[in-house]
């Protein structure tokens, strides 16, 4: 599907960087709160069962509610005793719900309590609560496995973000299904005011995938869709795309700006298809499987006059967008901002869904899936290092040197996501200042 451009847009998308006027109808910073019906029902219904089981177990054991004590007192196996212990000692019903045994396990617990002398009326009451829980699961989730998946979003006592566990499972499943995965998707962008036209900003764009690993040998894989929208007849009109390292561009690759210094060697075999909408599709050819055949493909270009300054009647923003279309363990998106040009202006970041025929466009002003955290770093080499990507900081410094830009004049904003979801786009948004010469005229 060809990308569309808003009639209001001051400049086309440039390799994941979309420049669009700030919407007049921007959504309010605070969103309307919705009743937490699911969580409140779980709290109430499971909480009732939790309390009655806790009271009965406490009355009968007269001792610790630890798993070993419960197993000994009621003749339960260790696994079921552990679940019962976690269930009755959880701080609230929502947390307790994650430790609910299945119906057979709950029946066995209640039978064991009754055999140990628990009050019959309280046992009957507990059975009613079990039935209420089953109705709750059916109403909100349909089945127990989906109910547990819904509960993961509310975990608070885990050392690992429960959403990361879900994303990790999605990464593994997607990689197995598609037959390909990558260690990391990287996007490095830098912006500063243009020397040739101070009413615009120049951009540096470095992007690609590190450690692409095939799980099946017959899998070709699209790894990039760069823009080819130049004005070759008049370089003073609109954005001009230039390879960061001109010698790295070969005729056989149709002018695609390969950043050979940071690609794997020998350089991966690529196929390039020029599309009717002014973009190209770069495909990694089939090849050997496994870690020993991992490949890295990086592209780098400089875009002159890519973004126009804001004006009083047309504010502008730059959207540094990383579209996730390859199963990857990491997404690292770095945005280097020229400090004097953007004094007092801070970016923010968010993740959006991109499903099928509904790709993300900045001008649509969609509500994001989630807001993302940015880390602000000075451009000292030791501060830019990433343990999982040993050459990443070197790539940043090398690209800035090739562009002829002084890294000390920039500050870096870093977005890191573990197991980014396919069909999402992570966007760093930066308001664009006005033309500094306007006040002088």
* Count of structural domains, the chain: 2
Quick one: 177 and 140 in the same domain? no
Quick one: 237 and 111 in the same domain? no
Q: What is the average pLDDT score of the chain?
A: 84
Alpha-carbon distance of 202 to 197, in angstroms, equals 9
Quick one: 189 and 330 in the same domain? yes
Quick one: 170 and 147 in the same domain? no
Range of the domain at 51: 37-152
pLDDT tier at 339, thresholds 50, 70, 90 = very high
Establish if 4 belongs to a structural domain: no
| The pTM of the whole model exceeds 0.75 | no
pLDDT tier at 151, thresholds 50, 70, 90 = confident
Quick one: 231 and 274 in the same domain? yes
Alpha-carbon distance of 318 to 88, in angstroms, equals 52
Q: What pLDDT score does 328 carry?
A: 97
**What is the per-residue pLDDT across 63-97, written as a single tens digit (0 to 9) for each?**
678 898 899 889 999 999 999 999 998 888 888 99
Helix (H, G, I), strand (E, B) or coil at 413: strand
227 has pLDDT over 80: no
Establish if 24 belongs to a structural domain: no
Quick one: 314 and 427 in the same domain? yes
Quick one: 298 and 376 in the same domain? yes
Across the range 39-68, mean pLDDT stands at 89
241 has pLDDT over 90: no
Alpha-carbon distance of 146 to 404, in angstroms, equals 54
Of 123, 152, 181, at which residue does a domain stop?
152
176 has pLDDT over 90: yes
Q: What pLDDT score does 157 carry?
A: 53
Quick one: 122 and 194 in the same domain? no
Establish if 65 belongs to a structural domain: yes
Across the range 340-354, mean pLDDT stands at 92
Quick one: 123 and 266 in the same domain? no
The residue among 51 and 239 whose pLDDT is bigger is 51
Quick one: 194 and 84 in the same domain? no
Of 111, 131, 152, at which residue does a domain stop?
152
Of 89, 117, 152, at which residue does a domain stop?
152
Establish if 22 belongs to a structural domain: no
Helix 120-140 vs helix 103-115: crossing angle, to nearest 10? 170
Establish if 157 belongs to a structural domain: no
Quick one: 422 and 384 in the same domain? yes
Q: What pLDDT score does 19 carry?
A: 56
Establish if 340 belongs to a structural domain: yes
Across the range 123-131, mean pLDDT stands at 94
Quick one: 115 and 221 in the same domain? no
199 has pLDDT over 50: yes
Establish if 16 belongs to a structural domain: no
Establish if 293 belongs to a structural domain: yes
What is the SS3 string spanning 214-266?
A: ECCCCCCEEEECCECCCCCCCCCCCCEEEECCHHHCCHHHCCCCECHHHCCCC
């Amino acid at each position: 599907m060809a990308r569309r451009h808003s009639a209001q847009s001051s400049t086309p998308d440039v390799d994941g960087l979309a420049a669009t006027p700030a919407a007049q109808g921007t959504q309010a910073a605070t969103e309307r709160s919705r009743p937490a019906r699911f969580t409140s029902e779980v709290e109430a219904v499971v909480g009732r069962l939790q309390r009655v089981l806790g009271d009965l177990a406490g009355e009968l054991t007269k001792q610790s509610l630890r798993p070993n004590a419960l197993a000994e007192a009621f003749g339960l196996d260790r696994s079921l005793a552990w679940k019962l212990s976690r269930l009755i000692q959880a701080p609230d019903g929502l947390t307790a719900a994650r430790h609910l045994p299945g119906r057979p396990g709950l029946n066995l617990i209640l039978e064991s309590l009754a055999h140990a002398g628990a009050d019959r009326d309280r046992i009957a009451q507990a059975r009613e609560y079990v039935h209420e829980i089953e109705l709750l699961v059916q109403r909100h989730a349909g089945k127990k496995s989906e109910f547990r998946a819904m509960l993961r979003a509310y975990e608070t006592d885990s050392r690992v973000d429960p959403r990361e566990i879900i994303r990790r499972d999605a990464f593994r499943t997607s990689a197995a299904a598609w037959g390909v995965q990558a260690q990391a998707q990287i996007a490095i962008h830098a912006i500063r005011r243009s020397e040739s036209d101070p009413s615009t900003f120049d951009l540096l764009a470095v992007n690609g995938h590190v450690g692409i690993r095939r799980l099946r040998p017959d899998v070709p894989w699209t790894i990039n869709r760069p823009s080819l929208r130049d004005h070759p007849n008049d370089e003073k009109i609109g954005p001009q795309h230039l390879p960061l390292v001109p010698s790295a561009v070969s005729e056989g690759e149709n002018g695609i700006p390969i950043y050979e210094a940071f690609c794997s060697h020998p350089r991966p075999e690529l196929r390039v298809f020029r599309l009717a909408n002014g973009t190209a599709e770069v495909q990694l050819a089939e090849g050997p499987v496994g870690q020993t055949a991992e490949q890295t493909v990086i592209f780098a270009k400089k875009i002159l006059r890519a973004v126009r300054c804001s004006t009083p009647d047309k504010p502008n923003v730059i959207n540094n967008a990383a579209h996730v279309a390859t199963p990857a363990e990491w997404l690292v998106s770095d945005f280097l901002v020229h400090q004097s040009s953007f004094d007092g202006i801070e970016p923010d970041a968010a993740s959006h869904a991109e499903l099928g025929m509904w790709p993300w466009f900045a001008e649509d002003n969609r509500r994001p899936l989630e807001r993302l955290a940015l880390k602000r770093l000075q451009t000292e080499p030791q501060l830019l290092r990433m343990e999982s990507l040993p050459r990443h900081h070197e790539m940043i410094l090398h690209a800035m040197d090739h562009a002829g830009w002084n890294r000390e004049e920039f500050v870096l904003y870093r977005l890191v996501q573990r197991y980014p979801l396919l069909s999402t786009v992570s966007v760093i948004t930066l308001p664009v200042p006005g033309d500094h010469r306007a006040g002088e005229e």
